[in-house]
Amino acid sequence: MSLLVKICGLSTRETLETALDAGADMVGFVFFPPSPRHLSLETGRDLGRQVKRRALKVALTVDADDATLDNIMDALSPDIFQLHGKESVARLRDIKQKFGRPVMKAVPVATSADLAVLPGYAAVADRILFDARAPKDATRPGGLGAPFDWHLLENLDLKLPYMVSGGLHADNVAEALRVTRAGGVDVSSGVESAPGVKDPELIKAFIRAARASQDASQELSVR
């Protein structure tokens, strides 16, 4: 199974093109006003047109209502909704039914107790994104550039595809993959020169490092 690489929080044509040219499998667009990566619907529409099916478009929302999701559907037509708030299992089922798109549920992780929610979400979600749990005073539930203890996922037995995120960058993504055995990686802060400002060279370096790690693990598996 090929590793999925997601670059999240893209907001300009130039850096989106860099991510697509570098081979990102997923490109994430944030629709959450407190985020430095938040997009207007019109920018989302413009960037969505640029993707041209070269990658999966991920719309990232936090406890969004139906009207907000409807507007995002109209503007971006996302391939996946990434639900990064306190959405219940019933809300996931509701969104899948109403909008007909796969959902990736973000699960905040700080301790092993945080994994107790998995059976419920795993019954409905199409994919899980493990992310570092945000501090209580954080202005947003993700995109904070902080890792969690990847060893908490060492003995994970999840039948669903999952990604790891939270504080990843080119220098630690291989270790994150080695420990978590995740099928995908996701990054935002680690490819930025400032909050919300994506750096083309960091994007390329991250994708190179993730692919190199994938190649290394595949070599080991065929020995």
Ligand X SMILES: O=C(O)c1ccccc1NCC(=O)[C@H](O)[C@H](O)COP(=O)(O)O
Q: What residues are labeled active site?
A: 8, 131
Is 214 a binding residue for ligand X by CB under 6 A? The answer is: no
CB of 134 to ligand X, least distance (A): 8
Q: Are 89 and 58 in contact (CB under 8 A)?
A: no
Is 168 a binding residue for ligand X by CB under 6 A? The answer is: yes
Q: Are 89 and 105 in contact (CB under 8 A)?
A: no
Which residue spans within 9-117 are E strands per DSSP? Answer: 26-30, 56-61, 80-83, 103-109
CB of 189 to ligand X, least distance (A): 3
Q: What are the tokens at 172?
A: 């630690």
The residue type found at 169 is H
Nearer to ligand X (CB atom), residue 44 or residue 218: 44
CB of 43 to ligand X, least distance (A): 15
Is 25 a binding residue for ligand X by CB under 6 A? The answer is: no
Is 8 a binding residue for ligand X by CB under 6 A? The answer is: yes
Q: Which residue has the tokens 């905040």?
A: 108
Using CA atoms in the order 46, 49, 54, 56, what is the torsion angle rounded to 10 degrees? Answer: 70
Of residues 57 through 86, those in contact with ligand X by CB under 6 A are 60, 62, 84
Is 184 a binding residue for ligand X by CB under 6 A? The answer is: no
Candidate residues 190, 203, 206, 213; the one interacting with ligand X per rule CB under 6 A: 190
77 phi-psi bin (left φ>0, alpha ψ -120 to 50, beta other): left
Is 11 a binding residue for ligand X by CB under 6 A? The answer is: no
Of residues 88 through 117, those in contact with ligand X by CB under 6 A are none
Pairing of strands 197-198, 192-194: antiparallel
Q: CA 48 to CA 58: how far, in whole Å?
A: 10
Is 180 a binding residue for ligand X by CB under 6 A? The answer is: no
Is 28 a binding residue for ligand X by CB under 6 A? The answer is: yes
Q: Are 162 and 204 in contact (CB under 8 A)?
A: no
CB of 221 to ligand X, least distance (A): 27
Binding positions for ligand X, rule: CB under 6 A: 8-9, 28, 30, 32, 35, 37, 60, 62, 84, 131, 140-145, 165-168, 186-190
